[in-house]
Structure 1
Amino acid sequence: MAATPPQTATAEPLTREQRVALYRTIYAARRIDDKEITGKRQNKVFFQINGVGHEALQAAAAMCLRPGHDWFFFYYRDRALAYGLGYTAKDMFLGSVGAEADPASGGRQMPSHWGHRALNIFTTSSPTGSQFLQAVGAAEAILRAEQGGLQEQLGIKSDEVVLVTTGDGTCSEGEFWEGVSNAVNLKVPVVFLVEDNGYAISVPSEVQYPGGNVAALLKGYEAHGLLIVDDVDGCDPVASHAALQAAVAHARSRKGPALVRARVIRPYSHSLSDDEQLYKSKAQRDEEARRDPVRTFAERLVAQGDLTEAQLQMLRDEVQAEVDAAWAEAEAAAPPASGSFYRHLYSEDVDPTSAAFDTEHAAGDQATGAKTMIDLINATLKHEMARDPRILVFGEDVADASRAEILEEVKGKGGVFKATHGLQKQFGGHRVYNSPLAEATIVGRAIGLAARGFKPVVEIQFFDYIWPAMQQLRDELANIRWRSNGTFAAPVVVRVPIAGYLMGGATYHSQCGESTFTHIPGLRVVCPSSALDAAGLLRTAIRCEDPVLFLEPKHLYRQTHNKGNDPGPEFMIPFGKARTVREGRDLSVITYGNTVHRAVQAAREAEKEGISVEILDLRTLNPYDWSAIERTVKKTHRVIVAHEDTLSWGYGSELAARIADELFFHLDAPVRRVAAKDTWVAYQPALEDEILPQPKDFLEAYRKLMKV
């Protein structure tokens, strides 16, 4: 399909100095790309992806915004934009060679994944589309800070704007549509810049979405405050400047978000791993060359008298000298130190496994006034929200009522399990609020808010529905600190009800799957089995500086056997500290969550048969308490690892393997496991009981192990 020529926007007059500065950014970005490509061919650079053809639009964007004041969420083609904001050629080349001094990642990420704390360029990642919701969250932080009077504390300025960039192909991603919808609904000051070069690698725009113009599909949002500036000539920096000036002014004046779609070119292949001649005709490639801003804008500057030919050449020589000198310095830069890969996996300032988080002795008397797990989760949230005004609670149905005018009339929802009941009434709708029914939205916005200094404690309504947020959880939340080499962090707490034993929960309300998340470096995973543990571990999760997945076995929410007193506002349990639920001599059970009580029930029966069972509740799954495991194995010499998830590939497999590997000579019998059948959880209660581990399964396992 032939592309129609893009329209040229009416431009505000720019000074000669501004026009020349635009060209300098355009030319410098091109020469940096070319130098990096040469380095790749010399095996001095290990990956290369270029921003060629996008430079004019990006140079204009840089001129319309304020580095270190506004915030930026990029994708991987934004070289000219980064350069225009102050990201030097040397900084870029340090990333190209993977140097320790690379400001984006310290050599941990591919080149062109920009990140710079002083310039407010948030760490960029490869998964296309993950940046949109984070940008909306960062812009949302501006409004939440104003509502809560936290601007000074968080360093947030009232006139900030957030810019988020994308290629045309990424607009096919669901998170793009969630991002735009959230931005319009919240009326946040964010500008979406669509750099439309017509292709996502080899797939043209018209295959991505109907008509090949995403801006045309968003027209309905204009009535709700979205400014759309469409069909801008992105190869004309003056026209691009006019379009972006209008969009930024709209957002900065708090009229709502804006979206600019500009037609750019991609005269080089997608990356050095691609060959565009395989899918672009010669006529297409010739047309792109005709529009190349490195040539066309230079000719324009000479024609209108901004530069003479000699001055133009002098500018080019100056840029080339800068690029060559920067490359020479980067080539000589030191690589990351051997063994440094573990640095910044978690916070190096706040250690939730330390004694500072161990106040378990302050629990008080549990015999009177005992409360359920759901009650203590609610009480802990109230304690912590009163203590820290940065805490925001949001998710599906977590508010008492989205419509504040009826709060006096209704009792309030407060979550489907009532964990957040009363929080909105106590702390206000600017701190406790409902999100759309979109799990990626919840986690993505939380990341943006956390990056700006808030402490989001969000809820995914059921673990079974966490999967739409998986990209935000795994590829973003868990590795932001590591991939940025400690420059950025997102200490979000994600609360989620998990597991079965519900009588009717069935396939989509009874899932486990915790091993999927304990497999993710950088993510703390917690799973309490008692009300008191839930209170202490939730407080630790909120006060630590790492992202935490807080799993709440919903079957245990209102049980009586695991009740506990409210231990007060300073009660914490450190991560990685197991609890011995029951002392024993003959065998040990290592477990957590719903299966703790079933193991105890079976142990009581086993004791009648002369079998003494010790039960260890891990409480946290990443990290887990290896020293406690060692102690109990060395004490009883027989061990069962138990969990509610399926037997194959479950969390217990790792524990069993490590025990067999490191404690083999302390074992009098093979390590055994008790777990669910390798299938889904059924709706019919009798069938559910057969699938999930029951006390009788534990008792049978105890008997068999003692016979070995």
Structure 2
Amino acid sequence: MVIAPDQVADPLAGFPVQELLEDFATCCRSRALDDREILLQKQSKVFFQISGAGHEVLLTAVARALRPGSDWFFPYYRDRALVLALGVSPLDLLLQAVGSALDPASGGRQMPCHFGDRARHIVSQSSPTGSQCLPAVGCAEAGRYLVRRPELLAAGLHAAGDEVVYVSLGDGTTSEGEFWESLNTACRLHLPVLYLVADNGYAISVRAADQAPAPISELVQGFRGLAVSRCDGWDYAECRRTAAQAVARVRAGEGPGLIHARVTRPYSHSSADSQAKYRPGAELAEEARHDPIECFAAALLAAGLANAEQLDAIRRQARAEVAAAADAALAAPRPDPARVHLHLFAEGSSPTAPSASPIPAPAAPPTGEGTEPLVLAEAIRATLFERMAADERIVVFGEDVADADEGLLAEVEGKGGVFGVTRGLQRRFGSARCYNTPLAEANIVGRAVGQALRGLRPVAEIQFFDYLWPAMQQLRSELATLRWRSNGAFACPAVIRVPIGGYLKGGAIWHSQSGEAILAHVPGLRIAFPSRAADAVGLLRSALTGEDPVLFLEHKHLYRQRDCADPFPEASWQLPFGQAAVVRPGQDLTIVTWGATVRLCLETARRLEAADEADVEVIDLRTLVPWDRELVADSVRRTGRLLVVHEDVLTCGFGAEVAAFAAQECFWSLDAPVRRVTAPDLWVPYAPELEATVLPQVEDIVTGARAVLAA
């Protein structure tokens, strides 16, 4: 049957005219912002520009179904029209573009279109493509957890029973593994996550055909529970109806959804790109036919909802509003360089601050009467039990950390981690608070990020330090940067527990490495490395009550060593980060160490005292970020000699930081060159004879100490 033109249904029918005109105006403001930023960038008043052009209609239509301040948003850099529709002003966006101190998203710390707005639940955006997907899943997990716990909501945390977590990305980003890891968890847990994939056919210059064998809406069909929909991003009515249906389904608790939207990219990827170098003119001309703003205007005209003069007036008003906002942004104050260090850590804390009250002798925390000594692993386990009982915000998860499937708990002993440190937590606190994750380290840390920014206190376990590296993107780009990049608007107090180190025969290259210096190089991440049970308890309590992300390194070899055992400290005792301990006082030589080599250095000191009548002082740093510069300097100024000992490799090991500090701050007190005893720049081998050759032994430390004493 042929349908006459006057019988064709109006595609915009049913939408309030005022909303349509408001959304058209938002689209025009978004495009005008792109054009103004490009102009300012050419004038060197904006230092980078990335365009949202071509995505405007899709994003304003999707925004109509979402609720700022109730739903949560993990956008990507082309979502300019979305954040405008959510209520962010053109001035706010331009303040970021010019790098003003008044930039509400980052205070001039992030480049343009790195959105963030705490009140509207727009989570501060990072640049790595796709890294926002896993925190979005963690955010959705946290929302579900919170809404079922009225006492936490009454205490000030926020969640809505029908909230949606929106996360967007370009089609090129669907090549990233973290996107697929996030889909896996969102679908398995039936989480209220809405993925918006804006497909403009390119990832910078790489065509979609070179990215994947099929469109993303086809590739994800195997994920059970994922509702997939498609739309053309230049068709407002289609986008509006598709988004409304997709959001309604997610909001009703039916599981995650994914919208695959075709969009255009009329401008180059960014100001650093020229798409004329790789896109033919005919293709760009064809794409211009689908310019979403022009298509939206044509639909409004065809429906008789506005005339050309009205639409031209809206465009002019948008350009004028943006021009005025640009003038205001350029006149706004510049950032104060003296404040750039703020918000790296929680207020009042610093990674380089000296200890407030150095401990001059081995720590003797108060203990209850009759308390039996606990080895390191059991002390950590007892602390988790204690803190989880006191704080329902704490959840524990990772590979193998649960006891067993709930249906089997009555029949089996339970696992609780490969080292048994979390054994019994699931039985005591339930599967909502201690649970297993996929074998995917980025998934573990990324979910911890999303939970922590919602106010939970996640304790995520990475099974071995040697397998931490798949999570490095989340550790470095998301976890460690969130507070600083948002200028203090968001915090991420997650604790990442990681068994580390060697001296366990048979561990070999994949289960015996250290590498703490690599993580110490990441600003914004605190690092604990206790060598005995009481210190682990005090530091873990501090980590779980602090506001900063913590990498909690637990040496596997020390887990059950009796000479590292201590009575369990009283519940009120905490050990602040940045306080080292003098575990053996002396006058002739200072040895600075941490982790498993503390025991070796104590044995070294005993041998030197017996054989050489040398009085050696041994300092256990206990935390590496921050580390106790003041205590080390005081010791070196008294002894005049320094030896740094650690298990990690020599080149760029953390001992180099200690040695450089001593050379700079204690130079006139040194009576001999600073030396280091470390592993060579090798991997840890499997055979015990080879492992003993690579890892520092007491004999190696004795030799190094004698060399310093003799100089």
TM-score (norm: length of structure 1): 0.96
Unaligned runs of 5+ in 2: 1-8
Structure 2 counterpart of 1:33: 34
Instruction: Show the counterpart of 1:329.
Output: 328
2:80 equivalent to 1:79: yes
Distance 1:351 1:152 in 2: 32
Counterparts of 2:534 and 2:369, CA distance in 1: 9
Are residue 189 (structure 1) and residue 208 (structure 2) matched? Answer: no
Separation (CA, whole Å) in 2 of partners of 1:319 and 1:291: 21
How much does 1:477 deviate? 0.5
Contact 1:11 1:241 in 2 (8 A): no
* Secondary structure, counterpart of 2:266 in structure 1: coil
Partner-residue secondary structure (3-state), 1:643: strand
| 2:661 matches 1:658 | yes
Cα distance in 2, alignment partners of residues 270 and 339 from structure 1? 34
Q: Is the 8 A contact 2:363 2:581 kept in 1?
A: no
Name the structure 2 match of 1:45: 46
Amino acid at match of 2:60: A
Matching residue's letter, 1:486: G
Q: Deviations over 1:289-339 (max 9, x none)?
A: 000022121122122111112211222222222111111111100011121
Structure 1 position 172 matched with structure 2 position 175: yes
Work out the CA distance in 2 between the residues paired with 1:545 and 1:624: 18
Instruction: Kindly indicate whether residue 700 of structure 2 is the aligned counterpart of residue 697 of structure 1.
Output: yes
Shift of 1:696: 0.7
Distance 1:155 1:360 in 2: 40
1:110-189 mapped onto 2 (5 Å cutoff) = 110-149=111-150, 150-153=152-155, 154-189=157-192
Q: Deviations over 1:266-306 (max 9, x none)?
A: 01100111111111111210111000022121122122111
Larger deviation: 300-309 or 497-506? 300-309
SS at match of 1:363: coil
SS in 2 for 1:170: helix
- In the aligned structure 1, how far is the partner of 2:579 from the partner of 2:655? 17
Q: Would you say the 8 A contact 1:360–1:572 is kept in 2? A: no
Aligned to 1:285: 284
Measured after TM superposition, the shift of residue 361 of structure 1 is: 5.6
- Contact 2:444–2:460 under 8 Å retained in 1: yes
Cross-structure match for 1:225: 225
Which region of structure 1 is more displaced relative to structure 2, 694-703 or 163-172? 694-703
CA contact (8 A) 2:530 2:553 kept: yes
Contact kept? 2:591, 2:601, Cα under 8 Å: yes
- In structure 2, the partner of 1:3 is none
Q: Secondary structure at 1:339's aligned position in 2?
A: helix
Deviations, residues 494-531 of structure 1 (Å, cap 9, x unaligned) = 00000000001100000111000111111101100001
Give the secondary-structure state (helix, strand or coil) at the position aligned to 1:456: strand
Cα shift at 1:148:
3.6
CA deviation after TM superposition for structure 1 residue 32, in Å = 0.9
Equivalent residue letter for 1:266: R
Q: CA deviation at 1:141?
A: 1.0
Structure 1 counterpart of 2:671: 668
Give the C-alpha shift of residue 357 in structure 1.
13
Maintained 8 Å contact 1:11/1:239: no
Aligned partners of 2:48 and 2:590: how far apart in 1? 51
Alpha-carbon spacing, 1:68–1:147, altered in 2? closer, same or farther (3 Å): closer
Over the aligned positions, Cα root-mean-square deviation in angstroms equals 1.9
Aligned-pair CA distance for 1:568: 2.6
Residue 295 (structure 1) aligns with:
294
Q: What secondary structure, in the 3-state scheme, does the structure 2 residue paired with 1:394 have?
A: strand
Deviation at 1:93, TM superposition (A): 0.5
Please report how far the alpha carbon of residue 242 of structure 1 lies from its aligned counterpart in structure 2 after TM superposition.
0.8
2:622 paired with 1:619: yes
Match of residue 603 from structure 2: 601
Q: 1:210 aligns with which of 209, 213, 223?
A: 213
**Partner of 2:261 in structure 1?**
262
Q: Within 5 Å, which residues of 2 pair with 1:6-21?
A: 13-21=14-22
1:240 maps to: 239
Give the SS at the match of 1:314.
helix
Change (3 A) 1:9 1:111: farther
Distance 1:120 1:46, change over 3 A: same
CA distance in 2, matches of 1:699, 1:291: 75
How many Å apart are 1:365 and its aligned residue?
A: 7.7
Alpha-carbon deviations, 1:560-610, whole Å to 9, x = none?
111001113222111110001111121110000010000111111111121
Q: CA deviation at 1:356?
A: 11
User: Residue 621 of structure 1 aligns to a residue in which SS?
Assistant: strand
Structure 1 match to 2:366: 363
What CA distance in whole angstroms lies between the structure 1 residues aligned with 2:508 and 2:305? 72
CA distance in 1: counterparts of 2:420 and 2:350, whole angstroms: 31
Query: Does 1:648 find its partner at 2:651?
Result: yes
Kindly provide the CA deviation profile for residues 98-155 of structure 1, in whole angstroms up to 9, marking residues without a partner as x. 0111111000000000001111100011100100001111111121113444344311
Q: Which moved more, 1:45-54 or 1:152-161?
A: 152-161
The offset of 1:11, in angstroms, is: 7.7
**Aligned mates of 1:10, 1:601 — CA distance in 2:** 82
Instruction: Write out aligned runs for 1:683-694 (5 A).
Output: 683-694=686-697
**CA deviation after TM superposition for structure 1 residue 368, in Å:** 6.2
CA separation of 1:22/1:674 partners in 2, compared to 1, >3 Å: closer, same or farther?
same
The residue number in structure 2 matching 1:5 is none
CA distance in 2, matches of 1:457, 1:90: 39
Q: Which amino acid aligns with 2:225?
A: G
The residue that corresponds to 2:408 in the other structure is: 406
Q: Deviations over 1:464-490 (max 9, x none)?
A: 000000010011110100011001111
Deviations along 1:525-576, one digit per CA (max 9) or x if unpaired, are 1100001111111111111100000000110000011100111322211111
SS in 1 for 2:480: helix
TM-score scaled to structure 2, two decimals?
A: 0.95
2:3 aligns with none
Q: Give the AA of the match of 2:557.
A: H
Q: Is the 8 A contact 1:9 1:240 kept in 2?
A: no
For 1:555 and 1:702, the matched residues in 2 are separated by: 24
Q: What is the deviation of 1:10?
A: 8.2
SS at match of 2:306: coil
User: 2:185 & 2:356 partners in 1: Cα distance?
Assistant: 41
Contact 2:12 2:299 in 1 (8 A): no
Give the secondary-structure state (helix, strand or coil) at the position aligned to 1:99.
Answer: coil
Taking the aligned partners of 1:368 and 1:16, their CA distance within structure 2 comes to 73
Quickly say closer, same or farther: Cα 1:471–1:280, change in 2 above 3 A.
same
SS in 1 for 2:340: helix
Matching residue of 1:199: 202
Q: Which residue of 1 aligns with 2:251?
A: 252
Question: Against the structure 1 CA distance between its residues 360 and 595, is the aligned structure 2 distance closer, same or farther, given a 3 Å change threshold?
Answer: closer
Aligned with 2:533 (options 531, 534, 544): 531
Pair 1:59–1:669, CA change in 2 (3 A): same
CA-CA distance at 1:363 after TM superposition? 2.6
Match for residue 505 of structure 2? Answer: 503
Q: Amino acid of the residue matched to residue 226 of structure 2?
A: L
Task: Confirm whether residue 272 of structure 1 aligns to residue 271 of structure 2.
Answer: yes
User: Which region of structure 1 is more displaced relative to structure 2, 357-366 or 156-165?
Assistant: 357-366
- SS at 1:210's partner residue? coil
Give the Cα separation in 2 of the matches to 1:98 and 1:452: 28
State the Cα deviation string for residues 324-378 of structure 1 (Å, max 9, x = none).
1111111100011121111101000678988699996643389961110000000
Structure 2 counterpart of 1:385, which letter?
Answer: M
SS of the equivalent of 1:561 reads helix
Identity of aligned residues (%): 50
Partner residue in 1 for 2:461: 459
Letter in 2 for 1:181: N
Q: Is the CA contact 2:234–2:293 (under 8 Å) kept in the aligned structure 1?
A: no
Paired residue total? 696
The 8 Å contact of residues 148 and 430 in structure 1, kept in 2 or not, is answered as no
**Equivalent position amino acid for 1:431 in 2:** R
Compared CA separation, residues 692 and 365, structure 1 to 2 (3 A): farther
Supply the distance in 2 between the matched residues of 1:49 and 1:357 (Cα, whole angstroms): 50
Instruction: Tell me how far apart the structure 2 counterparts of residues 343 and 171 of structure 1 sit (CA, whole Å).
Output: 35
Uncovered stretches (5+) of structure 1, i.e. residues with no partner: 1-7
- Cα distance between partner residues in 1 of 2:12 and 2:252: 20
Return the letter of the residue paired with 1:334.
P
Q: 1:481 to 1:368 in 2, by over 3 A?
A: closer
* Distance in structure 2 (CA, Å) of the matches to 1:355 and 1:426: 37
